Amino acid sequence: MLDTRELGRRPGSQRTVTLTAEAPAELGIEILGVPEGSEVEFDLRLEAVMEGVLVTGTATAELEGECARCLEPIEDEITIDIQELYLYDDSRDAAAASDDDEETDVRRTEGDLIDLEPVLRDAVVLALPFQPLCQDDCPGLCTECGARLADDPDHRHTEPVDPRWAALQDLAATDED
């Protein structure tokens, strides 16, 4: 929660804020995310506008996860851009507003406070790669024995490991005759 009291409501009034918060649970996607309780650093500029508070800046957080191809642990850092307008929560009838807001995705201040968590959540999920990789060209795992090919690029199997594959190869060979 971010306190906007010092900012005031005079349009054009600005303040920069740096703050560190603990990451909430389940921030990210299943395979890659910000560890719960790790530090998230916000570097923000608050600006009072006519209808609310404009928040712009960045959030920097640790990332932990695993490579989508070879399952090697990944540790990284992510910096996310944040840009969000929080409308003053007293600018409209609160009951009517909360119904509309769910559909229109409007964010509102809560008194003098701003809740950064939902914005952080959305921004992190958008910024994460759909398929995190330990390296851009991770070759993944050997389909036959599960060895990590990045560790052993020349990895080959001359003999099929699984006898069922051997049987299939025999069939294929017979077809060609």
Q: How far is the CB of 65 from Zn ion (least distance, A)?
A: 11
Kindly state whether residue 67 participates in binding Zn ion, applying the rule CB under 5 A.
yes
Please identify, using beta-carbon distances, which residue of 72 and 122 lies nearer to Zn ion: 72
Q: How far is the CB of 128 from Zn ion (least distance, A)?
A: 16
If DSSP codes are grouped into helix, strand and coil, which group holds residue 101? helix
**Which pair of structure tokens corresponds to residue 176?**
């060609």
Distances (CA, A) of 118 to 16, 137, 169: 20, 33, 54
x/- binding map, residues 121-150, to Zn ion, per CB under 5 A? -------------x---x---x-xx-x---
Task: Count the site residues for Zn ion by CB under 5 A.
Answer: 10
Please identify, using beta-carbon distances, which residue of 105 and 159 lies nearer to Zn ion: 159
In contact, 16 and 45? CB cutoff 8 Å? yes
Please identify, using beta-carbon distances, which residue of 9 and 155 lies nearer to Zn ion: 155
**Burial code of 135-149, b = ≥16 C-beta within 10 A, e = fewer?**
eeebeebbeeeeebb
Three state DSSP letters for 4-67: CCCCCCCCCCEEEEEEEEECCCCEEECCEEECCCCEEEEEEEEEECCCEEEEEEEEEEEEEEEC
Q: How far is the CB of 43 from Zn ion (least distance, A)?
A: 31
Q: How far is the CB of 27 from Zn ion (least distance, A)?
A: 23
Please identify, using beta-carbon distances, which residue of 12 and 153 lies nearer to Zn ion: 153
Q: How far is the CB of 163 from Zn ion (least distance, A)?
A: 16
Element at 103 (helix H, strand E): helix 94-104
Instruction: Identify residues 4-43 at the interface with Zn ion (CB under 5 A).
Output: none
Q: What is the binding site for Zn ion (CB under 5 A)?
A: 67, 69-70, 72, 134, 138, 142, 144-145, 147
